[in-house]
């Protein structure tokens, strides 16, 4: 019974953390949109949004690669 309660607590924490991350992502979406607004306002409708989406995608890929390298588990060197 105790392991079930521990699992419920663990999953609840995971869900709450994900919910907070989702809220943070929504706020960041608005902030990034405000920063990119000059980029896609000057272009025509869908084309401007497509350019903004491509810029954000490139930035996200680069940041993801950097974070993956920073937080990757360290491999032990063989002697």
- 24-32: long-range contacts at Cβ-Cβ below 8 A with a sequence spacing of 24 or more? 32/56
The pLDDT value recorded for residue 79 is 55
For the chain, give every domain's residue range.
2-71
Beta strands in 9-56 (DSSP E): none
pTM: 0.54
Q: Look at residue 33 in the predicted model and tell me its pLDDT.
A: 82
In this prediction, residue 43 carries a pLDDT of: 67
Q: How confident is the model at residue 77 (pLDDT cuts 50, 70, 90)?
A: low
| pLDDT tens figures, 24-52 | 999 988 898 888 788 767 767 777 778 77
pLDDT of res. 19? 94
Q: What is the DSSP letter of 27?
A: H
Neighbours of 40 (CB within 10 A): 19
* Measured distance CA(53)–CA(48) in Å, rounded: 9
DSSP 24: H
Pick 43 or 74 by higher pLDDT: 74
């Amino acid at each position: 019974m105790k392991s079930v309660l521990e699992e419920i607590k663990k999953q609840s924490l995971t869900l709450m953390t994900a919910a907070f991350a989702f809220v943070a992502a929504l706020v960041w979406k608005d902030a990034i949109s405000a920063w990119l607004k000059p980029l896609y306002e000057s272009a025509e409708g869908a084309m401007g949004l497509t350019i903004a989406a491509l810029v954000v995608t490139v930035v996200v890929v680069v940041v993801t690669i950097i974070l993956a390298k920073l937080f990757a588990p360290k491999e032990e060197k063989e002697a």
